[in-house]
Structure 1
Amino acid sequence: MTTLGSASADPGELDTGRLEVGETRDGTPIGLPVAVVNGAESGETLYIQAASDGDELNGVGVVNRVVPQLDPQELSGQVLVTGVTNWHAYQVAEHRNPIDDTKLNRAFPGNPDGSSSERIAHAVFDAATRADYVLDLHQGSTSRMINEVRVRCGRHHRMHRESLELAKVFGCGHILDQKGPEGQLARAAPDEGIPTVDPELGGCVGWDEESIEYGVEGVFNVLRYYGFLDGDVETEPQTRATGFDRYGSPTGGLVRFQKDLGDEVSRGDVLFRVTDVFGQLKAEVTADSDGVFWRSRRLPQVASGEYVCSVGTNVSTY
């Protein structure tokens, strides 16, 4: 029998339940929605979680579509799923946990006696470290971003090769291979010997069906490639960036982008122009390096110094 919180499934069964992670301000228990899919045949374990950031909903869309398609009678091994990880932020459609003003994906591996976010991180990290592979489903918050997968353990980590392979198998087409901040699940789980990636499924307000479909296909690629399900997966070359340049606006005004997401960028290319409200040019920002136009803000209005866009750099084919 395989369990996660109150979800419990014998071989060949699927069950859903709740993983308790604390209480609300009136003492009501908080339970994250979890699922266990226990295959009829023995095998490895895959852990999937979504909405570590409360406004990143494309991962929830992936879980919403993947779990009903999983037939435990056809599965070898187990799939453990946390459908909504940052419970407090999800309830109010915010990025950070409003109870402790913390970005949950900076709190791993967590602390059972710590803050609200640390307690949540500890509970789901315990589930993640039971797995052989981990998918932490994200998106570029509410900004615009290409569909990509992030390898965050760093290129000198002992689990880098395995995590990079997992990213390629997921197969969004773009990989950001750059060591992430401390406290990310995709940094903490490899320290426990578990290949882990952070698929960033586009960026939108609400959810985006195209990005969700990338995520659904990616999960099934992983399930087939690693033997959870029958079927072959042919990995395709990915565009891999190991650097990430961020650009802010030198002045206030309205942004007009000169590049689209996914476009190749050469050093000196104009990335965006800033005009005043009457269309008069105030500033022009060019690329410092060759790369790929990776991410951009959604709203056109900017203040001086405010974030505008990012370019993936040190690009190669992997």
Structure 2
Amino acid sequence: MTSVGSADASPGTVDTGRLEVGETRDGSTFGLPVAVVEGARDGPTLYVQAASDGDELNGVGVVQRVVPQLDPDELSGTVIVVGIVNYHAFQVAEHRNPIDDTKMNRAYPGDGNGTSSERIAAATYDVAREADLVLDLHQGSTSRMIDEVRVRCGRRHRLHSQCLELAKTFGCGYVLDQKGPDGQLARVAPSDGVPAVDPELGGAVGWDEGSIAKGVEGVFNVLRGYDFLDGDAGIEPQTRAKAFDQYGSPVGGLVRYQHDLGDRVTADETLFEVTDPFGGLKARITADNDGIFWRSRRLPQVATGEYVCSVGKNVDTY
């Protein structure tokens, strides 16, 4: 039997419940929604979580579609899902936890006696660190972004090859292989011996069905590729970037892009132009390096110095 909070599943069953992590300001207890799918046969454990950033909802869409499709009679091992991690931010559709103004994916491994975010991180990490694989579902907030998987442990980490293989098995087509900031789940878990990746499923206001479908496919690729389910994961070569160039606007105005997401760009090629309200050209920004047009702001209006787009660089195929 596997128990997570109030969810208890014996072999061949599914259960849902709540993982209590504290109290709200009126003293009421609150808990994170959890699901446990315990396979009829022994096997590894996959931990999946979504919405550690409260406005990144594509992962919730993935969870909503994956869990009902999991048949424990066909499963070897266990799948544990925390459907909404950043409880408080999700309630108000904000990125950061409004209780302590913290970005949840900088709080791992957490502190059971700490702030609101640290307590949530500690409770979820206690579950994640006991798994064999970790998928931390994200998206590019409300920016426009390609579907990708991020390997955050760093290329010199002892588990790097295992994390990279997990990213390849998920199979978004694009991988960012760059050491992440302190406190990211996908960086912390490998230090405890658990391969972990951070799928960034596009970017949307609300959620995007195309990116959600890619995420559902990715989870099932992992389930098949690591023998939770019978079948072929269909692993294909991935395009990998090892770093980003980020571009801001030198002037205020309206952005006009010269590339679509996923386009190859070459050094000195125009990425975007900035015009005045009447179409007059104010600035033309070119690429510093060869790469892939990876991410861009959603709204066209920019102020001086405001972020506009990112280009993935040091690109290869593996």
Counterpart of 2:25 in structure 1: which amino acid? R
Match of 2:213 in 1: 213
Match of 2:96 in 1: 96
Q: Shift of residue 235 of structure 1? A: 1.0
Instruction: State the SS of the aligned residue for 1:43.
Output: strand
Match of 2:124 in 1: 124
Q: Shift of residue 282 of structure 1? A: 0.5
Instruction: State the SS of the aligned residue for 1:203.
Output: coil
Instruction: State the SS of the aligned residue for 2:315.
Output: strand
Counterpart of 2:61 in structure 1: which amino acid? G
Counterpart of 2:143 in structure 1: which amino acid? S
Q: CA deviation digits over 1:132-159, x for unaligned, max 9? A: 0000000000000000000000000011
Q: Shift of residue 234 of structure 1? A: 2.6
Structure 1 stretch displaced more, 224-233 or 293-302: 224-233
Counterpart of 1:200 in structure 2: which amino acid? E
1:20 aligns with 2:20: yes
Per the normalisation by structure 1, the TM-score is: 1.00
Question: Which structure 1 residue ranges, 5 or more long, are not aligned?
Answer: none
User: For residues 244 and 289 of structure 2, what CA distance do their matches in structure 1 show?
Assistant: 10
Counterpart of 1:189 in structure 2: which amino acid? A
Q: CA deviation digits over 1:98-154, x for unaligned, max 9? A: 000000000000000000000000000001011000000000000000000000000
Match of 1:86 in 2: 86
Match of 1:55 in 2: 55
User: For residues 57 and 234 of structure 2, what CA distance do their matches in structure 1 show?
Assistant: 28
Match of 1:309 in 2: 309
Q: CA deviation digits over 1:188-245, x for unaligned, max 9? A: 0000000000000000000000000000000000000101001112310100000111
User: For residues 271 and 92 of structure 1, what CA distance do their matches in structure 2 show?
Assistant: 35
Match of 1:294 in 2: 294
Instruction: State the SS of the aligned residue for 1:134.
Output: strand
1:234 aligns with 2:242: no
Question: Which structure 2 residue ranges, 5 or more long, are not aligned?
Answer: none
Q: Within 5 A, what are the aligned runs for 1:1-318?
A: 1-318=1-318
Instruction: State the SS of the aligned residue for 1:285.
Output: strand
User: For residues 106 and 94 of structure 2, what CA distance do their matches in structure 1 show?
Assistant: 16
Q: CA deviation digits over 1:18-58, x for unaligned, max 9? A: 00111100011110000000000000000000001000000
Counterpart of 1:84 in structure 2: which amino acid? I
User: For residues 87 and 257 of structure 1, what CA distance do their matches in structure 2 show?
Assistant: 36
Counterpart of 1:223 in structure 2: which amino acid? L
Counterpart of 1:24 in structure 2: which amino acid? T
Counterpart of 2:103 in structure 1: which amino acid? K
Counterpart of 2:267 in structure 1: which amino acid? R
Instruction: State the SS of the aligned residue for 1:148.
Output: strand
Counterpart of 1:41 in structure 2: which amino acid? R
Q: CA deviation digits over 1:234-278, x for unaligned, max 9? A: 310100000111000000000000011000010001000000111
User: For residues 273 and 83 of structure 2, what CA distance do their matches in structure 1 show?
Assistant: 40
Instruction: State the SS of the aligned residue for 1:273.
Output: strand
Instruction: State the SS of the aligned residue for 1:68.
Output: helix
Instruction: State the SS of the aligned residue for 1:279.
Output: coil
How high is the sequence identity, in percent, across the aligned residues? 74
Instruction: State the SS of the aligned residue for 1:88.
Output: helix
Counterpart of 1:109 in structure 2: which amino acid? P
Count of residue correspondences? 318
Q: Shift of residue 305 of structure 1? A: 0.3
User: For residues 45 and 223 of structure 1, what CA distance do their matches in structure 2 show?
Assistant: 10
Q: CA deviation digits over 1:270-305, x for unaligned, max 9? A: 000000111111001000000000000000000000
CA contact (8 A) 2:220 2:233 kept: no
Per the normalisation by structure 2, the TM-score is: 1.00
How large is the RMSD of aligned CA atoms in angstroms?
Answer: 0.4
